[in-house]
Amino acid sequence: MNRCYSATHIEVDGQSRILLATEGEGPCLAWTGPDYGTPHEVWAGPGGTMSMVPIPGSNGEFLAVHKFFKMFQWEEAKLVHVKPLADGRYAVTDVLHLPYIHRFDLVPAGDRLYFIGCTLATTKDSREDWSNPGKIFVGEYTGPGPLQVSVLKDGLTQNHGFNRLERDGRVTSLVTCQQGAFEVTPPQHPGAAWQVRQFMDWPISDIAAIDIDGDGELEFATIEAFHGSYFRVYKQSGGGYQKIYEHPEVSEFYHVVTGTTLAGQAVFLGGCRRGKQQLFYVHALQNSPLVLQAEVIEEGVGPSNVHVMHEPGRDIIVSANREKAEAALYIVTEDLA
């Protein structure tokens, strides 16, 4: 798949379907479990798919970005609603025109569902133009019709990174940009306000969090700076954050960072689109003192994004290996080394 970029999975009639889509002009394809052997087409185009997010409580419906094509002039970028049909096709409907929308999520809070979407910029005259920063847009998600949003925060230069964080029964969003890292919390009851908390203040392209050593505190993995050369892990210390790990390869265009578990072990997944173009995981060799180490999953693939599925007896890494122009599955059935 040329420029394979976005990955997720949905559940349709009790069966898993893996989705991968291109950031270029082209398709989204789906593979149905349990063997995920033969693809079928979700859409033929237009492409430009930065993100896809399943809609909780639905039978495989999801939202996706369309027409985010180039490093500038993304005025046609939009959000679409996708619904699997009984005949095997998919209904695709526009729900929000939002230029430069890059990452988004649907975040539950109580019995409500909230939309949060991040724009990489507001306008761009060239690839290098970052004079009009991006924004965070939010709104309540009430169904497949047109989506109403408003600006929660603006002034976010190179507003690229986004990840979901679940802890203490609450779901929040991590947003990163040149100004640092922010945790965004939706209203916890009707009439309450959104909350935005900045917790890092240096340029960050992408971020993920997991308790990698089991001490009850989150560690944060980052890519620095925008499409950056460094993959780093931080531990909270004395009110700040101490860098405890840096991947040995310094190469531009790190693009994958995810906190997850593989074979029950907490890890960070990472990947880079330049240099050795590795897909790798970082795990704890020992917990006290904490020592982290990276293990290569595959080299020469240049992943753009990954999605992890947990199935009985196995974990599946769904990887959009952009630089190799392939959609790939890595299946974990045994304990990690």
Which value, in Å, is the radius of gyration of the alpha carbons in the chain?
19
Ranges of each domain in the chain: 210-337
What is the mean predicted confidence (pLDDT) over 45-69?
A: 96
| Mean pLDDT of the region 8-18 | 98
Residue 73: pLDDT over 80:
no
Provide mean pLDDT across the span 48-60: 97
What's the one-letter identity of residue 145? G
Residues 109 and 186: beta-carbon distance below 8 Å:
yes
Query: Taking 70 as the threshold, does the pLDDT of residue 230 lie above it?
Result: yes
pLDDT tens, residue by residue, 150-209: 999 999 999 999 999 999 889 999 999 999 999 999 999 988 999 999 999 999 999 999
- The DSSP-derived string for 74-137 is -TT-EEEEEEE-TTS-EEEEEEEE-TTEEEEEEEEETTEEEEEEEESBS--SSTT--SSBEEEE
What's the pLDDT at 72? 63
**What local confidence, expressed as pLDDT, does residue 46 receive?**
95
